[in-house]
């Protein structure tokens, strides 16, 4: 473990998600402890995207933005909101120069798969249709997210390919959750890692899927064919049960002819970039913005 991260390990207590409502409350309280982001260089606006049901979004518009990203928060598809992700979305907009459209998708177990995917996809379609209003190039629209949001972004890209939906320029997948089977080495062996570990991951999938079988739209690692998907930046953490499915997905994308940048961060754990004082966290967060900036410029 990175020595700068070790002192913070007691701040990440176990949570088996047995009570999703209580877990959301704790998650929100922890997020609220982060310092407020500097949004002086952008316009931030809450909107509602018409859909069935309508989807709340928060739009971060830096000056002279050229592209946009549909951004999906972390929280295991059970926790998280526009507010918990506010510091991350604002930082991503600031670092990348892209319009960030943060999505308040419906959460499990009250709203199981495919509710979150439907919400995210509706926002992608809305973004493409309103590119001129947003002041962005419709050829420069990306999808991305943290953790479960990263897996959701990968699913949005699969669905857009299958349905000949809006063109997606890029996938920004940070520590993505992609596989419900929990059969990789990291998923089997990381049973006591900080914040995310095997049993918690299993609970997340139970909440999201219920008794329904997983499809590639729920767990993108199940997709047989990854050809024709957008270029991707995938970041993984060393002590994370999701590590190997992220690396495996990157390799399969490469083998399918999709350009991929894979960044495996040594000494880190799932979500450890939330510890802003650690030098490795600062590099992790900066690299996400830089990767998106490069993709929008290319």
Q: Which of 240, 244, 272, 281 is catalytic?
A: 240
What distance in Å separates the CA atoms of residue 209 and residue 56, rounded to the nearest whole number?
A: 23
73 is catalytic: no
In contact, 39 and 90? CB cutoff 8 Å: yes
The backbone torsions φ and ψ at residue 102, rounded to the nearest 5 degrees and listed phi first, read -85, 130
CB atoms under 10 Å from CB of 12, counted, come to 19
Q: Which of 2, 270, 272, 281 is catalytic?
A: 270
270 is catalytic: yes
The size of the chain, in residues, is 298
In 3D space, the residue among 99, 76, 102, 109 whose CA is nearest the CA of residue 88 turns out to be: 102
147 is catalytic: yes
Phi-psi category of residue 147: left, alpha or beta, with phi > 0 → left and psi -120 to 50 → alpha: left
In 3D space, the residue among 238, 262, 227 whose CA is nearest the CA of residue 248 turns out to be: 262
Q: Which of 147, 186, 272, 281 is catalytic?
A: 147
For the annotated catalytic residues, the residue numbers are 147, 240, 270
């Amino acid at each position: 473990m990175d020595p700068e991260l070790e002192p913070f390990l007691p701040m990440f207590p176990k949570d088996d998600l047995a009570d999703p409502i209580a877990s959301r409350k704790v998650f929100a309280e922890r997020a609220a402890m982060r310092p407020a982001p500097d949004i002086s260089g952008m316009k931030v606006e809450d909107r509602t995207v018409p859909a069935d049901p309508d989807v709340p979004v928060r739009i971060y518009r830096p000056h002279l933005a050229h592209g946009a990203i549909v951004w999906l928060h972390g929280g295991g598809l059970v926790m998280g909101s526009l507010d918990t992700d506010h510091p991350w979305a604002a930082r991503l907009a600031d670092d990348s120069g892209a319009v960030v459209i943060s999505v308040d998708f419906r959460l499990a177990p009250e709203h199981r798969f495919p509710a979150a995917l439907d919400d995210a996809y509706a926002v992608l379609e809305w973004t493409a249709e309103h590119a001129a209003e947003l002041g962005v190039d419709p050829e420069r629209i990306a999808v991305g997210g943290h953790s479960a949001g990263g897996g959701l972004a990968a699913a949005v890209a699969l669905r857009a390919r299958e349905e000949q939906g809006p063109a997606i320029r890029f996938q920004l997948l940070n520590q993505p959750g992609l596989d419900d089977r929990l059969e990789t080495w990291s998923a089997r062996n990381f049973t006591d890692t900080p914040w995310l570990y095997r049993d918690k991951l299993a609970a997340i999938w139970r909440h999201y899927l219920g008794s329904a079988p997983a499809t590639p739209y729920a767990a993108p690692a199940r997709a047989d064919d990854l050809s024709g998907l957008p270029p991707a930046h995938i970041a993984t953490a060393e002590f994370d049960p999701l590590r190997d499915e992220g690396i495996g997905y990157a390799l399969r994308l490469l083998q399918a002819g999709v350009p991929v940048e894979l960044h495996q961060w040594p000494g880190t754990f799932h979500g450890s970039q939330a510890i802003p004082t650690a030098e490795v966290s600062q590099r992790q967060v900066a690299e996400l913005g830089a990767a998106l900036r490069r993709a929008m410029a290319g």
